[in-house]
Amino acid sequence: MTRRRTSELGQKQGRASAFWGLNLALALALAGVPGVTALDNGLALTPTMGWLHWERFTCNVDCVEDPQNCISEQLFMQMAELMVSEGWKDAGYEYVCIDDCWLADERDENGRLVADPKRFPNGIHHLANFVHSKGLKLGIYQDVGNYTCAGYPGSFGYYDIDAKTFADWGVDLLKFDGCYANDFESLVEGYKYMSFALNQTGRSILYSCEWPLYSRPFQEPNYTEIRQYCNHWRNYDDIFDSWSSVKNILSWTASKQENLVPAAGPGGWNDPDMLVIGNFGLSWDQQVTQMALWAIMAAPLFMSNDLRHISPQSKALLQNKDVIAINQDPLGQQGYRLRKEDDFEVWERPLSDLAWAVAVLNHKELGGPRNYALSTNVLGKGLGCAPACNITQILPVKKELGLYEWLSQFKVRVNPTGTVLLKLQPFK
Ligand SMILES: *[C@@H]1O[C@H](CO)[C@@H](O)[C@H](O)[C@H]1NC(C)=O
Ligand SMILES: *[C@@H]1O[C@H](CO)[C@@H](O)[C@H](O)[C@H]1NC(C)=O
Ligand SMILES: *[C@@H]1O[C@H](CO)[C@@H](O)[C@H](O)[C@H]1NC(C)=O
- Tens of pLDDT, residue by residue over 208-266, are 999 999 999 999 999 999 999 999 999 999 999 999 999 999 999 999 999 999 999 99
Q: What average pLDDT does range 267-276 have in this prediction?
A: 98
Whole-number pLDDT of residue 193: 98
Give the closest ligand to the alpha carbon of residue 43.
1
Q: Could you tell me which residue, 10 or 351, shows the higher pLDDT? A: 351
Span 313-330, pLDDT tens digits? 999 999 999 999 999 999
Confidence class for position 301, pLDDT limits 50, 70, 90: very high
119, 68 contact by CB (below 8 A): no
pLDDT averaged over the chain? Answer: 92
Whole-number pLDDT of residue 12: 31
Q: What's this model's pTM, rounded to 2 decimal places?
A: 0.92
CA distance 426 to 282: 34
pLDDT over 90 (residue 140)? yes
Domain with CATH 2.60.40.1180 in the chain: 336-426
* Pocket lining for ligand 1, CB < 6 angstroms: 40-41, 199, 202, 204
pLDDT over 70 (residue 166)? yes
Per residue, the 3-state secondary structure of the chain, as one string, reads: CHHHHHHHHHHHHHHCHHHHHHHHHHHHHCCCCCCCCCCCCCCCCCCCEEEECHHHHCCCCCCCCCCCCCCCHHHHHHHHHHHHHCCHHHHCCCEEECCCCCECCCCCCCCCCCECCCCCCCHHHHHHHHHHHCCCEEEEEEECCCECCCCCECCCCCHHHHHHHHHHHCCCEEEEECCCCCCHHHHHHHHHHHHHHHHHHCCCCEEEECHHHHHCCCCCCCHHHHHHHCCEEECCCCCCCCHHHHHHHHHHHHHCHHHHHHHCECCEEEECCCECCCCCCCCHHHHHHHHHHHHHCCCCEEECCCCCCCCHHHHHHHCCHHHHHHHCCCCCCCCEEEEEECCEEEEEEECHHHCEEEEEEECCCCCCCEEEEEEHHHCCCCCCCCCEEEEEEEECCCEEEEEEECCCEEEEEECCCCEEEEEEEECC
**What is the percentage of the chain residues whose pLDDT exceeds 70?**
92
Q: Could you tell me which residue, 405 or 34, shows the higher pLDDT? A: 405
Q: What average pLDDT does range 377-385 have in this prediction?
A: 93
Q: Name the residue at shortest CA distance from atom 4 of ligand 3.
A: 225
- CATH class entry, domain 336-426: mainly beta
Rg (CA), the chain: 22
Q: Could you tell me which residue, 24 or 290, shows the higher pLDDT? A: 290
322, 422 contact by CB (below 8 A): no
Separation in Å, CA 17 to CA 11, 304, 338: 10, 43, 14
Whole-number pLDDT of residue 428: 77
Domain with CATH 3.20.20.70 in the chain: 13-234
For 13-234, the fitting CATH number among 3.20.20.70, 1.10.760.10, 3.40.50.2300, 1.10.10.10 is 3.20.20.70
Confidence class for position 182, pLDDT limits 50, 70, 90: confident
Whole-number pLDDT of residue 15: 33
CA distance 269 to 389: 29
Whole-number pLDDT of residue 36: 63
Pocket of ligand 1, candidates 39, 199, 200: which has the most ligand atoms within 8 Å of its Cβ, to mutate?
A: 199
Q: Which among 99, 143, 177, 285 is annotated as catalytic? A: 177
Give the closest ligand to the alpha carbon of residue 195.
1
CA distance 403 to 406: 10
Give the Cα-Cα-Cα angle 276, 364, 248 (nearest 5 degrees): 40
Whole-number pLDDT of residue 37: 82
Q: Which atom of ligand 1 is nearest to the CA of 42?
A: 9
Q: What average pLDDT does range 190-215 have in this prediction?
A: 98
CA-closest candidate to residue 86, choices 398, 395, 312, 325: 312
Q: How far is the CA of 157 from the centre of ligand 2 (A)?
A: 9
115, 72 contact by CB (below 8 A): no
Whether 238 is catalytic is: yes
CA-closest candidate to residue 130, choices 75, 199, 52, 86: 75
pLDDT over 80 (residue 155)? yes
Confidence class for position 16, pLDDT limits 50, 70, 90: very low
Q: How far is the CA of 370 from the centre of ligand 1 (A)?
A: 51
Whole-number pLDDT of residue 50: 98
Whole-number pLDDT of residue 35: 52
Whole-number pLDDT of residue 33: 45
Q: What average pLDDT does range 76-100 have in this prediction?
A: 98
